[in-house]
Amino acid sequence: MAVSSPDATEKLNQASPLVNGVQKNQEEFDPSAPPPFKVADIRAAIPSHCWVKNPWRSLSYVLRDILVISSLVAIAVIFKTSSWVWPIYWIAQGTMFWAIFVLGHDCGHGSFSDNPNLNSVVGHILHSSILVPYHGWRISHRTHHQNHGHVENDESWVPLTEKTYNTLDASTKLLRFKVPFPLFAYPLYLWYRSPGKSGSHFNPYSDMFSPNERSYIVTSTLCWSLMVANLVFLSIVIGPTLLFNLYGIPYLIFVMWLDFVTYLHHHGHEQKLPWYRGKEWSYLRGGLTTVDRDYGIFNNIHHDIGTHVIHHLFPQIPHYHLIEATMAAKSVLGNYYREPKKSGWIPVHLMDNLVKSVKQDHYVSDAGEVVYYQTDYRMIGKKIE
């Protein structure tokens, strides 16, 4: 049973009063306060050339990533008897799988080019190669952008209400709230979505999709199935062990990257950030609760996906203009933009954000139009006296 009594919870937080799961300090900036600017004000601050999509430049990143992936495969096959090669290969290749996912993600947003057919073809090639149903994910991700920060309508890493949280069995809570299990959630999400939501990214009749989108889902599911068939064929030709080393383990590393990054873009900030319902929610207020992250040497490798706030508000901006657009928008955003903590080469500091958030951010209140994550203290072994 989750602890929902304000009086009980307050005993663990004597420094300042709790308001719907968060300590309110009158001297701190309140991120839930309605911003004094509009989306149009941010848009006006961004240079016009940041909106320009260059398909040749976008394709050059695809070529770069495919060349790196192919080179890694060649090196691994040549030195496959050397045990030291495989751990390096797994991490590097899994990271590159994540990089091509980001490019396919840009195709889904239309920031890859102004040509829908080019976006669709490249997106299907990239996403199908890493077992992602392109249109199914594209549509659900569009829903996420359009409703981010809304307790009921958001799609990605949606907070559980206390009522839903209390219906979860022990195994589900373990998988969702104990690292490293949440880092392997993505394949399950594709098939079953999140707790409290129904449907599948592979089913054209899922309630995620409108009737006129069903043909898109059939196409993407077919492409996904062809990739699975190709992997089965390769396992026969080269053997399942070599295929597992070349593709299976890097795929798991890719899944970990995806869950790690997408979770931390919407959770784990040092200051608790609000979620909204009803009239309090707006596209702007929801988008402003996203968080930029610095991933060190990986920023360029995974196409600056860490510049997430401006991407969330304006997903049409190509990834290669996001840094400049963010710098230009800061003067408008003010305190609503949270500077990411600078990373060393490897963003090990973000593991602390991840572990702390997964451990503490369990559910939000069933009521209220501005809510914050609350903690089930019994789950983390603390007793309420």
**pLDDT score, position 27:** 65
In a structure prediction context, what are the per-residue pLDDT tens digits for the chain, which is 385 residues long? Answer: 333 434 444 443 444 444 565 555 556 789 999 999 999 999 999 999 999 999 999 999 999 999 999 999 999 999 998 889 999 999 999 999 999 999 999 999 999 999 999 999 999 999 999 999 999 999 999 999 999 999 999 998 889 999 999 988 888 888 888 888 889 999 999 999 877 788 999 999 999 999 999 999 999 999 999 999 999 999 999 999 999 999 999 999 999 999 999 999 999 888 889 999 999 999 999 999 999 999 999 999 999 999 999 999 999 999 999 999 999 999 999 999 999 999 999 999 999 999 999 999 999 999 999 999 999 888 776 665 5
**pLDDT score, position 66:** 98
DSSP string, 321-337: GHHHHHHHHHHHHGGGS
First to last CA, the chain: 15
CA distance 39 to 286: 12
Q: Taking a C-beta distance cutoff of 8 angstroms, is the pair 318, 58 a contact?
A: yes
CA distance 238 to 312: 42
**pLDDT score, position 12:** 39
Closest CA to 306 of 298, 316, 314: 298
DSSP string, 149-180: TBTTT--SSPPPBHHHHTT--HHHHHHHHSTT
**pLDDT score, position 15:** 41
Cα torsion 162, 166, 171, 175 to 10°: value is: 0
Query: How many beta carbons lie within 10 A of that of residue 69, not counting itself?
Result: 18
Report pLDDT digits (tens) over 243-260: 999 999 999 999 999 999
Reading the block at residue 79, the tokens are 């030195």
Report pLDDT digits (tens) over 185-214: 999 999 998 777 889 999 999 999 999 999
Query: Is the preceding omega at residue 195 within 30 degrees of 0, hence cis?
Result: no
DSSP element (H, E) containing 19 = strand 18-19
